[in-house]
Chains A and B, each alone.
Chain A
Amino acid sequence: MVKYIAQRVFYMILTLFIIASLTFFLMKLIPGTPFKMGEKMSDAQMEVMLEKYDLDKPVPVQYVSYMTNILKGDLGTSFQFGDAEVSELIGNRIGPSALLGFQALLVGSLIGTLLGIIGALKQNTWADYSSTFVAVLGKSIPSFVFAGLLQYYVGVKLGWFPVAFWKGPEYTVLPTIALAMFPIAITARFMRTEMIEVLSSDYITLAKAKGSSYFDIIFKHALRNALIPVITVLGPLAVSLMTGSLVIEKIFSVPGIGEQFVTSVQVNDYSVIMGTTLLFAFLFIMIILVVDILYGLIDPRIRLAGGKQ
């Protein structure tokens, strides 16, 4: 197991290195400089600025110096926010995004699983059709539509939860629900299909033949087996949820990272782009690791392949 983890960590670092390099060179292909936006500068001023930030050097030289800095743990400073530290900028912003994403994932997968189970058990009845209906809505209607509806009906008309801003736990409720619609839909569909498949398998018949109750059959025997493919879809979804949604953050005025990332790309804020990309890549790799560990916990056959024993 130790050997397995060590191997995984090595590949994680390698992956991060490749992603950092690729992003760096791709970013340099974007035309323009961080200084073109806003203020008008003369060519001489521009040269001074480029020189100050080493941007006049050839790209490979910049690459080497950037990578050396990263190894030292220095992500550089931002161009758009008056020389603020990138690590601090990201650190301040990732919190709300990750929290929202995590809550949405939790709510989404739980409700989705329930809907999926209901759909599978009551196949081709009104319960199944309504669960499918919810899933289709969740998948086809964009989250900002839900956001608007939630703000108007639940926030303004009913006044149950605050409509916007980021001041406490109750402020997370509406954006979480808006974000959760998609994971609900995905989980419900996958869960239903898997459940139907699992429920028709021989070991479920055997469980019935043992005299197990319906509750035991579903929650002790079927659910665990049906979860395996669902986890596979939920992994990448978790990353995209936790790295923030530009639209949802804008609508609910959440100081998240999604918005910051988009602006930094627009203004060529090289160090913020790099820092955020690296963070997203890191999160993604971590989630893949978590998913692999979860596989092992759920399915003993995969555990062995991991190199235990």
Chain B
Amino acid sequence: MEKILEVNDLKISFHTFSGEVQAIRGVSFDLNKGETLAIVGESGSGKSVTTKSIMRLLPEQSSEFKSGEILFKGKDLTKLNDKQMQKIRGKDISMIFQDPMTSLNPTMTVGKQIMEPIIKHQKLSKSEAREKAVKLLDLVGIPNPEIRFKQYPHQFSGGMRQRVVIAIALACNPQILIADEPTTALDVTIQAQILELMKSLQKKVETSIIFITHDLGVVANVADRVAVMYGGKIIEVGTVDEIFYNPKHPYTWGLISSMPDLETEEEDELFAIPGTPPNLLNPPKGDAFAPRNQYAMKIDLEKEPPMFKVSDTHYAATWLLHPDAPKVEPPAAVQKRMKMYQEQHK
């Protein structure tokens, strides 16, 4: 498979009044052509920062790029100047944001907002761009595109606005689409519609998608591969089957068991991972998850675990995978889930 994006040992910090917050502490992953990679993790784990840094959209004054490389088709995006970066944004890599209610300019017609990247990147005339924008509105399932073209964002509902944002993102047939929790702000029915739309459009324009979410249900629905982030690092990565059927990291176990499903009874108590995420102002010395991990060993508090290989596509950063580690089975809830998924899959 052809690698389209390669992120190597990315480190990013934010400068705040209390000091340097190490938001991303060495993230590496790659994205293949045409696949959907889901990045999951709780708030503050660094999902959005990672993807924003690919687009170089982090606030320049407060954020600092410490080290690493972001290779887009072999070209290091961190070395480009502003002008070169502008040519990549919206054309080769584009982005969908979390809140459709605020991500469109309230004082510009929807049509103009879609035409902007088309005129800028494809050098089309106004009338050609207009035609294309109307087609895009139609493509993302907005009825009466001719009329809607001239309207302002406040005349659209939340789901419709997210469709417009998707139309903007797809305007120039990008090779990578970054979707930063695109369905979090929408209600469940609209969520399903947007996911279906993204999947069908991905087939049409052959885009690779990085999908950020904290909703494992969405992950199972859209992703080919999954990267689990915790405390500014990727702690487990694998195909969607590997992550759901054979998770290895205790944090992934926690995530899976804290997800309700159709068989969850009302009186069942939903599992919650105890404790709070690490403070990245002073990142812990060992495994960042160790203080919340009931399987933590002494070494977890002292030394960071490297990525252990489970299969060619499956890696996890936990000392439990070390040959000398005691054999630990995932908790019963997770085993039950794993079994259930496998049965559903058959």
**Which of chain A's residues 149-205 have a Cβ closer than 8 Å to chain B?**
200-203, 205
Complex CA distance for A214 and B95, rounded to whole angstroms: 18
User: Contacts A202-B103, A203-B102; is A208 near B89 (CB within 8 Å)?
Assistant: yes
**Could you name 28 residue pairs across A and B whose Cβ atoms are closer than 8 Å?**
A124-B61, A200-B59, A202-B102, A203-B102, A203-B104, A203-B106, A205-B57, A205-B103, A207-B105, A208-B57, A209-B89, A209-B90, A210-B89, A210-B90, A210-B116, A210-B120, A211-B86, A211-B88, A211-B90, A212-B90, A221-B105, A221-B108, A225-B105, A299-B106, A299-B107, A300-B107, A301-B154, A304-B154
Complex CA distance for A207 and B103, rounded to whole angstroms: 9
A42 touches B (CB below 8 Å): no
Main secondary structure of the interface of A (DSSP, over half): helix
Residues of A within 8 A of B104 (CB): 203, 206
| Cβ B103 vs Cβ A206 within 8 A | yes
Give per-residue flags for B100-129: 1 if the beta carbon is below 8 A from chain A beta carbons, else 0: 001111111000000011001100000000
| Cβ A300 vs Cβ B152 within 8 A | yes
Complex CA distance for A225 and B154, rounded to whole angstroms: 14
A224 touches B (CB below 8 Å): yes
User: Contacts A206-B97, A206-B168; is A211 near B106 (CB within 8 Å)?
Assistant: no
Nearest 8 A/B pairs, CB to CB: A211-B90, A210-B90, A211-B89, A202-B102, A300-B152, A209-B95, A202-B103, A210-B117
Q: Please, how many residues of chain A have a CB less than 8 angstroms from a CB on the other chain? A: 26
A213 touches B (CB below 8 Å): yes
| Cβ B97 vs Cβ A205 within 8 A | yes
Residues of B within 8 A of A214 (CB): 82
Which residue of chain A lies nearest to B98 when distances are taken between CB atoms in the complex? A202
Complex CA distance for A299 and B154, rounded to whole angstroms: 11
A221 shortest CB reach to chain B, Å: 5
Which residue of chain A lies nearest to B152 when distances are taken between CB atoms in the complex? A300
Which residue of chain A lies nearest to B93 when distances are taken between CB atoms in the complex? A209
Give per-residue flags for A97-128: 1 if the beta carbon is below 8 A from chain B beta carbons, else 0: 00000000000000000000000000110000
Which residue in A211, A225, A298, A304 is a CB contact (below 8 Å) of B121?
Answer: A211
B87 touches A (CB below 8 Å): yes
B64 touches A (CB below 8 Å): no
Which residue of chain A lies nearest to B117 when distances are taken between CB atoms in the complex? A210
Residues of A within 8 A of B99 (CB): 202
Residues of B within 8 A of A225 (CB): 105-107
Which residue in B95, B105, B121 is a CB contact (below 8 Å) of A203?
Answer: B105
Which residue of chain B lies nearest to A299 when distances are taken between CB atoms in the complex? B107
Task: Give residues in B with beta carbon < 8 Å to A.
Answer: 55, 57, 59, 61, 82, 86-91, 94-95, 97, 99, 102-108, 116-117, 120-121, 152, 154, 165, 168-169
Complex CA distance for A207 and B117, rounded to whole angstroms: 9
Number of A-B contacts (CB under 8 A): 79
Which residue of chain A lies nearest to B83 when distances are taken between CB atoms in the complex? A213
Residues of B within 8 A of A298 (CB): 107
Residues of A within 8 A of B57 (CB): 205, 208-209
B59 shortest CB reach to chain A, Å: 8
Which residue of chain A lies nearest to B107 when distances are taken between CB atoms in the complex? A224
Which residue of chain A lies nearest to B55 when distances are taken between CB atoms in the complex? A209
Residues of B within 8 A of A207 (CB): 105, 116
Complex CA distance for A29 and B169, rounded to whole angstroms: 69
B256 shortest CB reach to chain A, Å: 31
Complex CA distance for A205 and B91, rounded to whole angstroms: 15
B220 shortest CB reach to chain A, Å: 27
A200 shortest CB reach to chain B, Å: 8
B166 shortest CB reach to chain A, Å: 12
Residues of A within 8 A of B152 (CB): 300-301
A216 shortest CB reach to chain B, Å: 8
Complex CA distance for A205 and B56, rounded to whole angstroms: 11
Contacts A203-B104, A224-B107, A300-B154 supplied; 15 other A-B pairs, CB < 8 Å: A200-B59, A202-B102, A205-B57, A206-B95, A208-B57, A208-B89, A209-B89, A210-B89, A210-B90, A210-B117, A210-B168, A212-B116, A213-B86, A214-B82, A221-B108
Residues of B within 8 A of A123 (CB): 61
| Cβ A211 vs Cβ B107 within 8 A | no
| Cβ A212 vs Cβ B105 within 8 A | no
Residues of B within 8 A of A301 (CB): 106, 152, 154
Residues of A within 8 A of B120 (CB): 210-212
Which residue in A203, A210, A304 is a CB contact (below 8 Å) of B94?
Answer: A210
A303 shortest CB reach to chain B, Å: 9
Residues of A within 8 A of B107 (CB): 224-225, 298-300
Complex CA distance for A216 and B91, rounded to whole angstroms: 17
